[in-house]
Structure 1
């Protein structure tokens, strides 16, 4: 129905945490099966299963895992190393007797990887043992539909370590995009939870100058925006500032400089599918709450609180008005002090900014978009000779790298001389000394292994003044300014306000035929109402037309899908 159904984006695939006991138990039955799964996982992790060719934790003779994954321009190799021969492939060989070999190599830019893989599918070429991919969900569905890949959920239940299982179980809906007929074909590649959830960044020096209290509600916020627009907060004697930096060239609910939280104050989230009180899914832009939110934005635009170019601004362009000192408020993730907010002080050395919670609406509601715990999937070939080998490899990264222990192999990083070096007897990780190499980007899953809850829990803990004790905590502390820590704590304090994207499946049949016209209708009405080109009451006409032009059928299809993965999966 929207952009979220075409791409696996961090803000698009987070679904509500719910029970999927039937799905996650796979073929297991009771305590006996669970005990057997743990033992199998232990055998793979420790290498005691000699029946598969492992001796003392290694394959002897070594085996090869052929794989495909896109290689991005951010992946940097040392001279003499490449995708097949580098510090990580050497580690996998030495540690496990596993040789990692690309079936072919293609960049991630300009859809080169996707084009080549689709051609391979179309010509029925042999697939590699593993495909690891994050990007176009339609391509993932094509791979699943090819029938060339095994029910990876059964393998996961049998071989995954407890650390890895616990990480996935933080949000079992991460399986949803990669399911077919109740089977978990793709193993979700996990990402950090809440990483893109927004807070409200406000020019604190303007707040102090105008003696404004912290805004807790939309009504409070309007007073702040009015002051920022009409009371010359920058003191230059000109009426050249405004309240809120937003841009909706792409969507009204996006990853930065968005206005999705305004809709959240009225109990909905636009251009995504939300769960209703009766357990059904509804499209957020066609709800009564959306009409109220658009009316609010229309009022703000008419009063000069928003940029007149908002409809032409993308996310980054809108944020530039904040960093340039034109706007006093911008909404976005906790990490914005790293980029782009550092430019605020480049433009004005006396400028200050501070994170605030998302405000509540007239009924006391607050709502924000969420961040997915998943950013891709791993597919395992039905003909892979040693499918357990992938778990040998990935279990170790989850158990040893995702949250490394003091004195452990990855205490300082993945590889000395790459992401860390010894300097004056101490480990150093900054790029000025390491050269900026990131060997976790050489791994099969792009980032090594991530436990979704770990990042924000760590940031929140450090925000309260706790001393970092673990290697992960020390790494985060060294790279996170206090403003970022405090913003992360605000994110976690409002975690119950998340309105997650609940539809994470492939485009439904009616979406495929009707998406373009419905999306155009949606964007048009949002823009026209905000700019007062049409009456707010024209929203009702839009909703009726949306429903009759395929929206009702899509709603039916989306709910059929949701039932199949959340209630019908066995």
Structure 2
């Protein structure tokens, strides 16, 4: 997950629009808007039968990932989604150019366009490298979108974004909201503990409520031959900290959480200030615990060179009995557990507590990406009509509505024997929502977990879709996530690198990783942590802390 950053930018121009509130009546929740600046020299758009007539064109750019596939004869500019947008809304969608997301091809081409001062499209939707977002904002080519959002966004969309207004923070400058965050499902990456249940049964082990309980389990998994092959070739817990200790899967951030902090991120203290979690006394305690586990053989020796996926493979291959990661892991990669051993079982457990009864896990942002609107876009209200419609009708579809079973029949759902099914093998496995300007159509953050954890029989199309085919382990894991929602440590600094970060962050990050790795592997004493903290503070850390808190106070005052 890329950490959101913030940098000073120049002032932005506001696109005015001469349009009465009724012009967006084609969107069910768009009533009550006031006319925009009457000094605008643009033609008024006409709406007939709920769509623009004549049609309006929106040019855009977005990366196209390898997960997006089209039917024969369709492509990025001509497909079931573009046809729907024109027929339903009178909006023609046109890529300014098409580039894949792999190998930084999209980023490279977009940076070349910026460097040559090429015209930008009406809309850029992007999720990925945050530095590129800042470069786009600093180009001065994009409008302050917050005012447009206030004016044209429908109530469904506004309520969704207001579930956590801090999603605006990465794109704010002096209280202004430059980019519109693309919403994702809440808690989607918050971790639970996955344990080999057949190994637990073999040794009659109980659920781990504390780190001490967990050590009892890890000792059995590492030393008592849980797979029965007569070899000492299994581990208690698999983690991978090549990319750091607090990551999206196979992480060890929860060990720090058990002591009351979270490494490699900025946490909110009781006095309302931000502190860097890797330099706290609690971080030292957690490092000591992980160091002890490594010395006892509870962790893979290769943990320091494993990334998140490689570490998880130790679990799916039957080499490790515990892995920590999101509730959706049964869909991937844990489906390989049964493929490798049909007799294997796994189950989700809550994150265990530390010596003082504390438990903690990293949190997940409600946003995943940003929308930037060109300051020269002639009719920005057209984009809001498009997105409002998706929020009002696709995000939580109506029974008997056009999206009741999916986006489009023959793509993400199909009728079989008179009944609709979203089975990918039958429907073809196409996902038209991935063709949309915002990658997923529209998502209301709280909706997904609410559907997964509801004790009632699913009744709405969304609930039925979410619950259909979901394994029992995933449902149990989702419930655990919500039961432990109060233990979350959210990343509180989501701005661009501060001035001192730009100069010193690489040095500080290397110092941190080297010190932590040396301690975990027993090559340096635990007390070397203290000298690391002193050096971190004197090498720019104290100044960064000051700048981070100044940023935090500045965004808290904005929307």
TM-score by length of 1: 0.91
Residues 215 and 359, structure 1, Cα contact 8 Å, conserved in 2? yes
Instruction: Determine if the alignment matches structure 1 residue 543 to structure 2 residue 533.
Output: yes
Structure 2 unaligned segments of length 5 or more: list them: 7-13, 34-42
Correspondences of 1:427-442 after superposition (within 5 Å): 427-442=420-435
From 394, 404, 411, the equivalent of 2:397 is 404
Residues 41 and 161, structure 1, Cα contact 8 Å, conserved in 2? no
Residues 239 and 300, structure 2, Cα contact 8 Å, conserved in 1? yes
Check 1:305–1:95 CA distance in 2 against 1; reply closer, same or farther (3 A cut).
same
Of structures 1 and 2, the one with the larger relative CO (CA 8 A, separation 6+) is: 1
In the other structure, the counterpart of 2:381 is: 388
In the other structure, the counterpart of 2:37 is: none
Instruction: Determine if the alignment matches structure 1 residue 355 to structure 2 residue 348.
Output: yes
Residues 38 and 158, structure 1, Cα contact 8 Å, conserved in 2? no
In the other structure, the counterpart of 1:192 is: 185
From 35, 45, 51, the equivalent of 2:27 is 45
Distance 1:290 1:64 in 2: 53
Correspondences of 1:274-423 after superposition (within 5 Å): 274-423=267-416
Offset at 1:76? 0.9
Residues 58 and 95, structure 1, Cα contact 8 Å, conserved in 2? yes
Offset at 1:231? 2.3
Offset at 1:408? 0.6
Distance 1:69 1:242 in 2: 42
Instruction: Determine if the alignment matches structure 1 residue 530 to structure 2 residue 520.
Output: yes
In the other structure, the counterpart of 2:106 is: 113
Residues 41 and 160, structure 1, Cα contact 8 Å, conserved in 2? no
In the other structure, the counterpart of 1:97 is: 90
Distance 2:337 2:424 in 1: 24
Offset at 1:241? 2.0
Distance 2:271 2:25 in 1: 44
1:175-234 deviation line (CA, Å, top 9, x unaligned): 011111211111110001111110001111111111111110111111111122222222
Residues 150 and 381, structure 1, Cα contact 8 Å, conserved in 2? yes
Find runs of 4+ consecutive structure 1 residues off by over 3 angstroms.
Answer: 37-44, 46-52
Distance 2:23 2:303 in 1: 53
Distance 2:5 2:170 in 1: 11
Secondary structure in 1 matching 2:542: helix
Distance 2:130 2:504 in 1: 18
Correspondences of 1:515-526 after superposition (within 5 Å): 515-526=505-516
Offset at 1:498? 0.6
Deviates more, 1:139-148 or 1:226-235: 226-235
Offset at 1:268? 0.6
Supply the RMSD in Å over aligned alpha carbons.
2.1
Secondary structure in 1 matching 2:297: coil
Secondary structure in 1 matching 2:285: helix
Residues 511 and 532, structure 2, Cα contact 8 Å, conserved in 1? yes
Distance 1:133 1:479 in 2: 31
Distance 2:113 2:470 in 1: 43
Check 1:351–1:152 CA distance in 2 against 1; reply closer, same or farther (3 A cut).
same
Secondary structure in 1 matching 2:324: strand
Distance 1:449 1:69 in 2: 16
In the other structure, the counterpart of 1:495 is: 485
Instruction: Determine if the alignment matches structure 1 residue 452 to structure 2 residue 445.
Output: yes
Structure richer in helix, relative to its length: 1
Residues 2 and 129, structure 2, Cα contact 8 Å, conserved in 1? no
Offset at 1:285? 0.6
1:415-439 deviation line (CA, Å, top 9, x unaligned): 1111111121111211212221111
TM-score by length of 2: 0.93
In the other structure, the counterpart of 1:64 is: 57
Correspondences of 1:220-231 after superposition (within 5 Å): 220-231=213-224
Secondary structure in 1 matching 2:391: helix
Check 1:540–1:534 CA distance in 2 against 1; reply closer, same or farther (3 A cut).
same
From 38, 48, 55, the equivalent of 1:55 is 48
Distance 1:176 1:545 in 2: 30
Distance 1:81 1:123 in 2: 31
Deviates more, 1:493-502 or 1:314-323: 314-323
Residues 6 and 136, structure 1, Cα contact 8 Å, conserved in 2? no
Offset at 1:55? 2.3
Correspondences of 1:129-208 after superposition (within 5 Å): 129-208=122-201
Distance 1:187 1:118 in 2: 21
In the other structure, the counterpart of 2:544 is: 554
Offset at 1:301? 1.0
Check 1:6–1:249 CA distance in 2 against 1; reply closer, same or farther (3 A cut).
farther
Distance 1:41 1:289 in 2: 57
Residues 360 and 366, structure 1, Cα contact 8 Å, conserved in 2? yes
Deviates more, 1:200-209 or 1:537-546: 200-209
1:103-138 deviation line (CA, Å, top 9, x unaligned): 111111111111121222222222111111111111
Offset at 1:450? 0.4
Residues 24 and 385, structure 2, Cα contact 8 Å, conserved in 1? no
Distance 2:369 2:127 in 1: 4
Offset at 1:39? 6.1
In the other structure, the counterpart of 1:10 is: none
Residues 42 and 161, structure 1, Cα contact 8 Å, conserved in 2? no
